[in-house]
Structure formats: structure tokens, C-alpha cells
């Protein structure tokens, strides 16, 4: 390659270009505003990333000594102000930003506010484990505070139906983002605590940016969760998302679906447990009989060894009576176990709202799967699902007849 009449190697060209960069005072000390992408934390302690905006991408590196001074954790999508110098990496012949310091920008203000409130509430004791309430094992009524149109409610209902369909659900529809969202969520929590209609509460929404999830980082929501007498599960965003609500709530679920997995047991697992209990009871009875049987045989041998006829007859009568007592005890014990199993099974079946369908009743749901309990929830031309024994039917409201009081 000819350059100014001189033939240079690739290394010499890259070195020359690097010297041009380092003589330019504009880029030897510069602050770049951009969004982090392609972030990688190397085992050496160095950070490699790109800074981007709507029109371009700039490669960047932050060496271990500078990276160790950061007061926050870097993540993709984070908007930052990165200060350093732009130079050429000779080996690859590419220019990049060598970051010496970095601070949050834009959304970074929200991160600062998040950390500030988190520290404040933690010092006040709102995150203390001693305040955490235990979730009920078999909740009959579950309250859900979320958007009625979001993916979160659909995911929760699907998991509840699959795992434990005996629980009933009450949805309190709220805004989950925007200026009024936090006050909506507080109203919902206070409503359930006042009415005392549910055994456990789930509050949350699907994933999103920090701005989208911000309602669950508001102080009024955190204090409302802390004051709640009803156990609360926080299910906000994806597994990597953390909000103030997660720290205050009694249980944090990584996703809305996971919340449903946490609050109800699996009916399949319950059946397995009952079978295990029954099997253990039978085993204990057999061992009891075997133990008594060994004693009876030993006693008989002792009697025979003495050989007096009258003693043999006496002990034979005693043995007959003892066998009768044992058989009677075993029969009553098995009957008791059987009744316990029947009671447990009847309790589970009694909680199933679908059992009433066989007596001529039906269940009416709207097109979102929410059970309708009042005529006030219907409008003309609404699409509804009528659940009957053996199946269901999709219907449309033609006329609404109010009950005469």
C-alpha cells in the first residue's frame, strides 16, 4: 500500500492513525451519551460494551481499575454518560472509547431514586423477615391486583386452573403504569383488607422497562403492602426485574406465572401425599401385627415346654381372646384411616365449584374468563361463556332483565 510515496505495513498504518487520534484534543477527553448494548463482563474484570443512539454505535471498553470504581451495576439498555478518550486498537484497526468513568443518565435518575427509597425503607424495617407472613396452604379465595387486559392475569388464571381449580379468584383491575397507577394499586390493597374476602393477594404485571414498572417502586405502594393484614405475593416483570414491592411483600415471585405456582398446591401432589399416608398406615399395621404375632408364638412355646394340660387349655383361651382383641383393634384402626381419607377427599371435592353444575346450576364468565356474579357486570351484545355440566357454550346478551325488588 502506497502512502505519501512510502510503503507501510498494516501495523505502521494503524499506529499512525492512532497517533492522529491522540493528537486530537477533542477526543482525548470526551463524554459520550448513549445506551449500553452488547455488554460483557470479562473474567479479567474488564467490561466490554457498545454505546448506541438512534443513528450509530460506538465500541467501548472499561478496564478493571476503572470498572471497580462504579457505584452501580451495568446492564444492557441502561442510559449512561461515559467519560474517557477515543483511540485506535492497533491489533484490529478499530477505534473505540476507553472509558475511565461513568454515571447514569436519564433513566439513571430512576435508578438513583430506586436505591434511595430502597435504603430508606430498609432502615425503617419494611424489609425485615420478622414481618413476613406465611402464605395459606390451601387458599379458598385469591385476590389479584393487575391489569384486566395484560398477559399477567391470563398467565395466573391458566396456572391456577391447571394446579388447583378449587380456589376462587377475585380480580381488582388497576392501571399498572402511568401517573395514576400507584394510587390504583393502593386502593386495591386497601379494598381487600377492608372487605376481608380473600386469603392471599397477588399484585403485579408483566415485564417492561424501569419506567413501565415504576408504579411498583412508589413509596405509597410499599407502605400499603407493609400495612396489609392479608399476605401479599409480589409478581412484577421478569425474573431479572426487582422492584421495591418485591422487597416489602411477604413473598417475591419472579413472574406472574410463578406466583400462581407458589400460592396454590398441585392437586396431583396432594393425591400423592394422601396415597403415601395411606401406605404408611398399612405398613404400621402390618408391623404391629407381626410384632404381636412373634410374642404370641414365643408364649405358646413356653406353655408347650411346661406341658401341663390345664395350663395349655388356659393359655389357648387367653390366646383366642387376644387374637379377637387384635383383630377388632385392626378393623377399627383401618376403618378410622378409611374415614379420614374419605373426609379429606370430600373436603377437596366440596371446594370444587363445578360440582354444583350437576344440580342444574351454571357458571357465567366473560370473554376474559372472569366469573360474573352480578347482572350489573353485563351489557347488551356482551360475549359470555355459559359453563354447564358436560361442557360450555358461547352466548351473547340479547336482553337484560333487572330483578324487581
Task: Give the other-Cβ count within 10 Å of 129's Cβ.
Answer: 6
Q: Would you state the pLDDT for residue 367?
A: 82
Asked if residue 43 has pLDDT above 50, the reply is yes
Q: Give Cβ neighbours of residue 164 (< 8 Å, ≥ 6 apart).
A: 138, 264, 265, 266, 267
Asked if residue 107 has pLDDT above 80, the reply is no
Look at 116-125, 132-141, 226-235, 371-380 and tell me which has the smallest mean pLDDT.
371-380
Torsion of Cα atoms, 143 then 144 then 149 then 152, to 10°: -140
Coil, helix or strand at residue 372: coil
- Does one domain contain both 157 and 237? yes
Sorting pLDDT into bands at 50, 70 and 90, what band is 156? very high
Q: Which domain holds residue 271?
A: 267-351
- Does one domain contain both 201 and 249? yes
Residues 239 and 254: beta-carbon distance below 8 Å: yes
Q: Look over the chain and give the mean of its residue pLDDT values, rounded to a whole number.
A: 84
User: Percent of the chain, pLDDT > 70?
Assistant: 89
- Does one domain contain both 215 and 272? no
Q: Would you state the pLDDT for residue 111?
A: 77
Q: Would you state the pLDDT for residue 74?
A: 86
Asked if residue 271 has pLDDT above 90, the reply is no
Q: What is the DSSP string of 198-211?
A: -SEEEEEE----TT
147, three cell numbers: 391489569
- Does one domain contain both 257 and 148? yes
- Does one domain contain both 258 and 287? no
Q: Would you state the pLDDT for residue 353?
A: 61
**What would the pLDDT profile of 161-202 be if each residue is shown by its tens digit?**
888 877 899 999 999 998 899 999 999 999 999 999 999 999
Look at 88-97, 185-194, 239-248, 364-373 and tell me which has the smallest mean pLDDT.
364-373
- Does one domain contain both 259 and 156? yes
Determine how β-strand 30-41 pairs with β-strand 6-7: unpaired
- Does one domain contain both 153 and 232? yes
The number of distinct structural domains making up the chain is 4
Q: Does the pTM exceed 0.75?
A: no
> CA 88, CA 34: separation in Å to the nearest integer?
20
Please tell me which of 284-293, 305-314, 355-364 the model is most confident about, judged by mean pLDDT: 284-293
> CA 170, CA 370: separation in Å to the nearest integer?
8
Q: Would you state the pLDDT for residue 192?
A: 96
Q: Would you state the pLDDT for residue 252?
A: 95
> CA 228, CA 189: separation in Å to the nearest integer?
7
- Does one domain contain both 150 and 251? yes
Tally the C-alpha atoms within 13 A of residue 354's C-alpha that lie toward its C-beta. 14
Amino acid at each position: 500500500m502506497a502512502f505519501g510515496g512510502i510503503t507501510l505495513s498494516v501495523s505502521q498504518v494503524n499506529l499512525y492513525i492512532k497517533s492522529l487520534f491522540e493528537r486530537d484534543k477533542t477526543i482525548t477527553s470526551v463524554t459520550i451519551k448513549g445506551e449500553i448494548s452488547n455488554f460483557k463482563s470479562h473474567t479479567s474484570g474488564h467490561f466490554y460494551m457498545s454505546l448506541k443512539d438512534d443513528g450509530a454505535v460506538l465500541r467501548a471498553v472499561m478496564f478493571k481499575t476503572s470498572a471497580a470504581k462504579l457505584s452501580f451495576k451495568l446492564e444492557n439498555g441502561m442510559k449512561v454518560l461515559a467519560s474517557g478518550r477515543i483511540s485506535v486498537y492497533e491489533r484490529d484497526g478499530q477505534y473505540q472509547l476507553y472509558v475511565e468513568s461513568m454515571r447514569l443518565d436519564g433513566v439513571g435518575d430512576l435508578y438513583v431514586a430506586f436505591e434511595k427509597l430502597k435504603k430508606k425503607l430498609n432502615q425503617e424495617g419494611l424489609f425485615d423477615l420478622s414481618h413476613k407472613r406465611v402464605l395459606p396452604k390451601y387458599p379458598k379465595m385469591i385476590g389479584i391486583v393487575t391489569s384486566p387486559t395484560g398477559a399477567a392475569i391470563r398467565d395466573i388464571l391458566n396456572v391456577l386452573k391447571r394446579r388447583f381449580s378449587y380456589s376462587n379468584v377475585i380480580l381488582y383491575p388497576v392501571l399498572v403504569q402511568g401517573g395514576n397507577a400507584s394510587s390504583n394499586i393502593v386502593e386495591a390493597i386497601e379494598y381487600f383488607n377492608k372487605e376481608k374476602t380473600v386469603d392471599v393477594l397477588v399484585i403485579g404485571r408483566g415485564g417492561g422497562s424501569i419506567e413501565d414498572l415504576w408504579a411498583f417502586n412508589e413509596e405509597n405502594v410499599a407502605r400499603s403492602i407493609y400495612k396489609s393484614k392479608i399476605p401479599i405475593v409480589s409478581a412484577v416483570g421478569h425474573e431479572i426485574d426487582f422492584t421495591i414491592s418485591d422487597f416489602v411483600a411477604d413473598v417475591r415471585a419472579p413472574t406472574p406465572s410463578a406466583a400462581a405456582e407458589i400460592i396454590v398446591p398441585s392437586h396431583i401432589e396432594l393425591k400423592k401425599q394422601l396415597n403415601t399416608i395411606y401406605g404408611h398406615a398399612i405398613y404400621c399395621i402390618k408391623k404391629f401385627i407381626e410384632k404381636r404375632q412373634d410374642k404370641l408364638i414365643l408364649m405358646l412355646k413356653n406353655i408347650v415346654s411346661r406341658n401341663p394340660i390345664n395350663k395349655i387349655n388356659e393359655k389357648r383361651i387367653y390366646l383366642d381372646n387376644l387374637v379377637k382383641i387384635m383383630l377388632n383393634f385392626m378393623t377399627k384402626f383401618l376403618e378410622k384411616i378409611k374415614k379420614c381419607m374419605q373426609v379429606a377427599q370430600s373436603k377437596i371435592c366440596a371446594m370444587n365449584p363445578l360440582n354444583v353444575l350437576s344440580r342444574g346450576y351454571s357458571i357465567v364468565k366473560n370473554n376474559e374468563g372472569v366469573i360474573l356474579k352480578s347482572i350489573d357486570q353485563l351489557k347488551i351484545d356482551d360475549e359470555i361463556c355459559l359453563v354447564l355440566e358436560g361442557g360450555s357454550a358461547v352466548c351473547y346478551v340479547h336482553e337484560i332483565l333487572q330483578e324487581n325488588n
